[in-house]
Amino acid sequence: MAAGGDWWYLGVDLSTQQVKGMVIDDNLNVIHETNVKFDDDLPEFGTQNGVQVQSDKLTITTPVLLWVKALDLLLERMKAANLDFSKLKSLSGSGQQHGSVYWKEGANQTLKNMTADRSLHQILESSFSVKDSPVWMDSSTTEECRQLEKCAGGPQKLADITGSRAYERFTGNQIAKINKKYPEEYKKTERISLVSSFVASIFLGNYAAIDYSDGSGMNLMDIRAHEWSQQCLNACAPGLKEKLGDPLPSHSILGSISPYFVKRFGFSSECKVIAFTGDNPASLAGMRLQQGDIAVSLGTSDTVFLWIEDPRPTLQGHIFCNPVKSNAYMALICFKNGSLTRERIRDESGSVSWDGFTKAMKATSPGNDGNLGFYFDVMEITPSAIGVHRFNGQNCKVSEFSKEIEVRAVVESQALAKRAYAEKLGYKVLKGTRVLATGGASTNLDILQVLADVFNAPVYTIDTANSACLGCAYRAKHGLEAVLGQSFANSVKMAASPKLAVNPICEADKIYCPIVARYQELEKLVRNRS
């Protein structure tokens, strides 16, 4: 056991393509990081970019046992790196949002009796009633969405209750589909977890509560009352309240770690498990977002999020409960075509590396000579649209751009969408606005430059691109201090401040202001739904 003040905290993030672990010390310094990449490290599951696209192209799943095996491997790698697990005072984590896990009858008994001589994968092999978990990229539940909106009295009414109109990837609609398509499997389901609370359940050795913040991404929770909306539950599937368990505040201490981890890896039996949350709420914590800042996460999905005190849900974007302050909220906008689309354009432009991409971008100038494109390789969430649509400076549709123009067009278009949709949610770029960037692509200064120019605001980054994982390590620490009345901001005040990465060019506003307006006009021509 570690002596006095010398404690560590673990954050775990299970995202679309990998699971990551990060350990910080009492001074909030990162002292260990490791990851497991699903496609490369677990090729036996045959996923591509962490998922399986089913034949209808709309149903997108990940085998739940892949996630279990990835956790085995992550912990083995930490052990192989000689991490002293006994120094961990608490842990927390996050998961890709909206995805769901279906535990079979009897699974909780299995969780409570895990024996340290077997891997998690061996123990939990037959604990799930649905083997392929629907994930956030799924867009197969349009029918269920319309049904839920009808039962709630319309899309705006549903948004007023749950923070969002019905979205295909939101868990309530996914559960409704499972119940309709696989009624026997649904009946045999003892508990439904989000990806976040599923991982928490494993560490706890018991079903873990869904936290308020990730629970807001289900179209099922009343975000003001912090409880399930019976009206929404009824519209989705029978007996759902029991299968979900009661939601809890995101900073809750769920209990001590399962004896399995004490025996197998040497965790302290006192190590506490703090409620897990969604990856975007966790990023908000990792970036220590302040009111007025705008955060942009550049990952498999690109997201924009804001700190909100007075929520006014609309038909665009989502309002979630705030993960670090009770009675505050966060707004989130999710763009499905993020890094995979950037990588496709990079590869097709003949650039094998980001260097080539950058070179192509430097051959064009801000504003791209009026050329503007929309790049929705898969059905986009914001807006609901699909396909690649290119327009020249005269607003005429064209079938091709040169590779240089194409590279700048994809980066500009993604940044323009972020500004346009943040403004639709009422956000105003003011003097002093900071754009905080995170996620894999936030290490690319040329992409950040376009972001700074389009927002006409400086872009800052934190030391790690893994803000979700860092946010969970921070939340692990704060969970223990919250019971003593400590605020999250106080718990993490010693953390290093974000660093200035790029400033906007002087003529940024003049160039991009009219393009944001033009983007919104042209977007109307490519949308599926108004």
Residues that bind ligand XUL (CB under 6 A): 15-16, 96-98, 136, 169, 217, 278-280, 301, 303, 332, 334
* Residue pair 64/71 in contact by the 8 Å Cβ criterion: no
Closest distance to ligand XUL from the beta carbon of 127 (Å): 23
Backbone torsions φ then ψ of 499, nearest 5 degrees: -105, 145
Q: Which is nearer to ligand XUL, 96 or 491 (CB)?
A: 96
Helix or strand holding residue 436 (H, E): strand 435-438
Closest distance to ligand XUL from the beta carbon of 469 (Å): 12
What single letter denotes the amino acid at residue 451?
L
Closest distance to ligand XUL from the beta carbon of 164 (Å): 9
Sign of the C-alpha dihedral computed for residues 392, 394, 395 and 396 taken in this order: negative
- Give CA–CA dist 69/160, Å, rounded: 39
Closest distance to ligand XUL from the beta carbon of 483 (Å): 28
Q: Which is nearer to ligand XUL, 232 or 298 (CB)?
A: 298
Closest distance to ligand XUL from the beta carbon of 381 (Å): 7
Q: Is 222 helix (H, G, I), strand (E, B) or coil?
A: strand
Closest distance to ligand XUL from the beta carbon of 302 (Å): 8
Q: Which is nearer to ligand XUL, 214 or 446 (CB)?
A: 214
Matching residue, tokens 């000689």: 82
Matching residue, tokens 């971008």: 361
Q: Which is nearer to ligand XUL, 21 or 217 (CB)?
A: 217
Residue 255's beta-bridge partner residues? 273
Q: Which is nearer to ligand XUL, 211 or 406 (CB)?
A: 211
* Residue pair 63/45 in contact by the 8 Å Cβ criterion: yes
Strands 60-63 and 88-95: unpaired
Closest distance to ligand XUL from the beta carbon of 29 (Å): 26
- If you write DSSP's letter for every residue of 48-91 in order, what string do you get? BTTBEE-TTSS-EEEEHHHHHHHHHHHHHHHHHTT--GGGEEEE
Angle between helices 354-362 and 339-348 (to 10 degrees): 80
Backbone torsions φ then ψ of 510, nearest 5 degrees: -60, -40
Q: Which is nearer to ligand XUL, 137 or 495 (CB)?
A: 137
- Give CA–CA dist 303/12, Å, rounded: 20
Closest distance to ligand XUL from the beta carbon of 335 (Å): 9
Q: Which is nearer to ligand XUL, 103 or 320 (CB)?
A: 320
Q: Which is nearer to ligand XUL, 19 or 176 (CB)?
A: 19
Angle between helices 403-424 and 445-455 (to 10 degrees): 50
